[in-house]
Amino acid sequence: QVQLRESGPGLVKPSETLSLTCTVSGGSMNSFYWSWIRQPPGKGLEWIGYIYSTGSTNYNPSLKSRVTISVDTSKNQFSLKLTSVTAADTAVYYCAREQNWGFDYWGQGTLVTVSS
Amino acid sequence: EIVLTQSPGTLSLSPGERATLSCRASQSVSSNYLAWYQQKPGQAPRLLIYGASSRATGIPDRFSGSGSGTDFTLTISRLEPEDFAVYYCQQYGSSPQTFGQGTKVEIK
């Protein structure tokens, strides 16, 4: 059974960089797409971007200038960096495995609050 | 980007009743690449339906999806207590993939 777990700071100051890591267990990362998705408190879901196991990426244009997703398949991990954060970036951040038919495995999510 | 509009915002029903949820796209969804997810409080979304009408692994057959082009529907034939949740549609045919704003199915 594939499992994903997000980790990283729960509090980030405005203008700083949000950094999260997703650790994948129970399966290989190879030949899959791995995504980050976020959900502001009480609101809907927003796709941030994905990385393929070989390293190619695709980002949401609304965040593209501030987002970097990277992968380390030797550690079974992929990571998210979001620069110049504001209060609008406060959200639960999920990592997920993306198939051709949708997101089939998700992490439990981690709340990141942007506040001084 | 494709904007997905879900209706109604909230659906108040009793266990055993039928639920019909709508998702309308601002433009045609390529290859009917439309999925439905269920989310309960404090949990990650769970994939229910993909390709507009195919059930994901382990999803009960009371859940069904239909539609094509710009109009899609999720139907829950008889609501079980565990079905009260928020439901999201998602299109993955065009980048960026996008989600609807959600429909909450609550106990009447």
How much is the pLDDT for B48? 98
Long-range contacts of A45-52 (CB under 8 A, 24+ apart): A45/B45, A45/B88, A45/B90, A45/B99, A46/A91, A46/B99, A47/B96, A47/B97, A47/B98, A47/B99, A48/A80, A48/A82, A48/A93, A50/A98, A51/A78
Nearest to B44 by CA among A97, A79, A21, A74: A97
CB < 8 Å to A96, chain B: 44
How much is the pLDDT for A101? 87
Sequence-ordered alpha helix ranges (H) in chain A? none
> Least CB-CB distance to A94: which of B1, B44, B88?
B44
User: Do A102 and B98 lie within an 8 Å CB cutoff?
Assistant: no
Largest CA distance in chain A: 40
Q: What is the pLDDT of residues A81-105, one digit of tens each?
A: 999 999 999 999 999 999 988 999 9
Query: Chain A residues contacting B, CB < 8 Å?
Result: 44-47, 58, 60-62, 94, 96, 101-104, 106-109
Q: What is the pLDDT of residues A48-72, one digit of tens each?
A: 999 999 999 999 999 999 999 999 9
CB < 8 Å to A46, chain B: 99
User: Do A107 and B44 lie within an 8 Å CB cutoff?
Assistant: yes
Report yes or no: B87 at the A interface, CB cutoff 8 Å: no
Q: What is the pLDDT of residues B88-99, one digit of tens each?
A: 999 999 999 999
**Residue B57 CB burial class (10 angstroms; 0-12, 13-18, ≥19):** exposed
CB < 8 Å to B51, chain A: 101
Length, in residues, of chain A: 116
A55: tokens are 């390293």
For residues A18-22, give the mean pLDDT: 98
Q: What is the pLDDT of residues B12-23, one digit of tens each?
A: 999 999 999 999
| DSSP secondary structure string for all residues of B26-68 | SSPPGGG-EEEEEE-TTS--EEEEETTTEEPTT--TTEEEEEE
Chain A interface test: which of B1, B37, B43, B47 (most A C-beta within 10 Å) = B47
For chain B, how are helix, strand and coil distributed in percent, rounded to 5?
A: 5, 50, 45
How much is the pLDDT for A100? 87
> Least CB-CB distance to B90: which of A58, A102, A106?
A102
Determine the residue of chain B that is closest to A111 in CA distance: B42
How much is the pLDDT for B81? 97
How much is the pLDDT for A12? 98
Identity (one letter) of the amino acid at A72? Answer: D
Extract the residue ranges of chain B whose pLDDT is less than 70. none
C-alpha B75/C-alpha B70 separation (Å) is: 17
Nearest to B75 by CA among B45, B47, B36: B36
Query: 49-68 in B: which are within 8 Å (CB) of A?
Result: 50-51, 54, 56-57
